[in-house]
Amino acid sequence: MLKRAKIQLILNHPFFATTALKMEYVEDETVSTMSVSQRKIKYNPEFIKSISRDECVAVLAHEVLHYNLLHHLRIKDKNADNWNKACDYAINPILRNSGFKLPNGHLYKPEFENKSAEEIYKIIHKDDEKENQQGDSGNGDGDGNNESDSNAPQNWGKVESPENYDDLAEAEAEAKQDAIEAMNIGKQAGKLPGNLEEKLTELIEPQKNWRELLLKFIAEIAKNDYSWSKPNRRYLPSGLYLPQLESIELGKVVFAIDTSCSVDTKLLSSFVAEIKEAASLFNFPVTVIHCDTAVRKVEELDEDSEIVPVGRGGTFFYPVFDYVNDNLPDTKALVYFTDGECWDKLTEPEYEVLWVIYNNKHYKSDFGEIIHINS
């Protein structure tokens, strides 16, 4: 059955076939259905016998796509069950739109189309935590399936963490090279599914150093006397050659923190750390605004300040802009740290705005610059 499935991929789906032919296939009865990690697919022979040829083709493509999108390398410290669900929700729309016949009961929600596994995981994990807090004993596995799952095996197509954590860098390089080759062959054949090129390119190409972009943004709006001949030594070991500011003519820089419930405590800690890091490099007044649905706290920052976020309600952006416009007339720049889960209609202010957006690559703004960060 697996041999026939690979032949079907070769004939009709060159992108998937390119990687499928490189995989090692291991019969393993301890695996309930199939699983993938690095260049290895494990399968339970009874599961293979229980599905049709077309479904076998689809499940094989499913495993290949997990691998090509580096899902096995992106588990990190996430909840494994929720990560597997998120990965399935992320790739099943791609497979459905490519004409594959997925087994009954596969995880699918239209609202998750075009979202990354991380974006979906965040939603699933938050809902799961709410259920746990409420003492809900529901199983959660069938929730959101738009197909009947009465005859479906549970958790087919599992993503597993790498077996050898000592060679993660090598495994990542190998997986990225496999993805590049598959993408190129799919493009040449004119059969690269959906927006896979965009998704793969984001994973394969190294991200820009966002800290450098943040600091350059601040430096560019500063009208100070700054000198590249006197670089900031703090960043030289990291390969960042940044100017040392020599006078205080910038005016006020405002940092806003999204303290809504959609921003978890780990992300809030990242916001605070980056604000303190950026503020320590320049000698100018810094104001920090905490906001969820309203401005909850405003504080002036100095070297010894401890920022303790206040909020945890819903999300609105406009209270920050209203506060700055009404109370901080000498503001030259606003840097807003947020996950972007807000749809306010905003009026462009007179000062410069930089959006530092975490884990939300689809966020767009009518004004200002945007730095995207995956935490």
What are the C-alpha distances in Å from 131 to residues 127, 134, 140, 237?
Answer: 6, 5, 10, 46
Which has the minimum average pLDDT: 92-101, 222-231, 273-282? 222-231
Q: How confident is the model at residue 132 (pLDDT cuts 50, 70, 90)?
A: low
Give me the pLDDT at residue 28, please. Answer: 93
Identity of the amino acid at 272: V
Give me the pLDDT at residue 43, please. Answer: 94
Q: Give me Rg for the CA atoms of the chain.
A: 24
**Percent of the chain surpassing pLDDT 90:** 34
Reported as a single tens digit per residue, the pLDDT across 34-76 is 999 889 999 999 999 999 999 999 999 999 999 999 998 888 7
Are the CB atoms for 53 and 5 separated by under 8 Å?
A: yes
Give me the pLDDT at residue 135, please. Answer: 64
Q: Cβ neighbours of residue 76 under 8 Å, at least 6 residues apart?
A: none
Are the CB atoms for 13 and 60 separated by under 8 Å?
A: no
Distance CA 282, CA 221 (A): 12
Does the pLDDT value for residue 146 go beyond 70?
no
Q: Cβ neighbours of residue 106 under 8 Å, at least 6 residues apart?
A: 88, 92, 145, 147, 152, 156
Give me the pLDDT at residue 185, please. Answer: 92
Does the pLDDT value for residue 141 go beyond 50?
no
Q: Is the dihedral of CA 263, 266, 268, 270 positive or negative?
A: negative
Give pTM, 2 decimals. 0.56
What are the C-alpha distances in Å from 164 to residues 38, 73, 233, 307?
Answer: 10, 11, 38, 39
Domain ranges of the chain: 2-204, 210-373
Give me the pLDDT at residue 248, please. Answer: 39
Give me the pLDDT at residue 201, please. Answer: 77
Q: Give SS3 for 299.
A: strand
Neighbours of 266 (CB within 10 A): 9
Closest CA to 255 of 291, 289, 206, 228: 289
Domain 210-373: CATH architecture, name and number where available: 3-Layer(aba) Sandwich (3.40)
Give me the pLDDT at residue 245, please. Answer: 47
Q: Are strands 352-358 and 369-373 parallel, antiparallel or unpaired?
A: parallel
What are the C-alpha distances in Å from 124 to residues 83, 93, 228, 315, 358?
Answer: 9, 17, 47, 19, 17
Which residue matches tokens 């100018």?
Answer: 284
Distance CA 276, CA 301 (A): 8
Q: How confident is the model at residue 375 (pLDDT cuts 50, 70, 90)?
A: low
